[in-house]
Amino acid sequence: MGDLERLDLVFSRDQPARRYVQDRLAELEAEVRAWIGAGAAIYVCGSVHGMGPGVHQSLTAILGEDQLELLARNGRYLRDVY
């Protein structure tokens, strides 16, 4: 394993205009596709009522449902939503 090369932070409660993980993903659509093409895995951990579905919707819009299902089957899309 290597070092973390990039970290994007999004804060939803410390500013007037709320921003969420799914918003940042949408902004990085081309990069998300490139990362997945290069073998990246996606790990989602958070609220089953808020972040979880929102992130899934953004990833579906970026990659498509079939690609997400394939990633999940191959252990590259893991969700821990509670």
Q: pLDDT-based confidence at 1, cuts 50/70/90?
A: low
The rounded Cα 74 to chain-centroid distance in angstroms is 16
Who wins on pLDDT, 39 or 6?
39
Does the reported pTM lie above 0.95? Answer: no
Percentage of the chain surpassing pLDDT 70? 99
Average confidence (pLDDT) over 39-43: 94
Domains of the chain: 21-81 (3.40.50.80)
Q: Find the mean pLDDT for residues 20-43.
A: 95
The DSSP code sequence of the chain is -----------SSSSSS---HHHHHHHTHHHHHHHHHTT--EEEEE-TTTHHHHHHHHHHHHH-HHHHHHHHHTTSEEEEE-
pLDDT value at position 8?
87
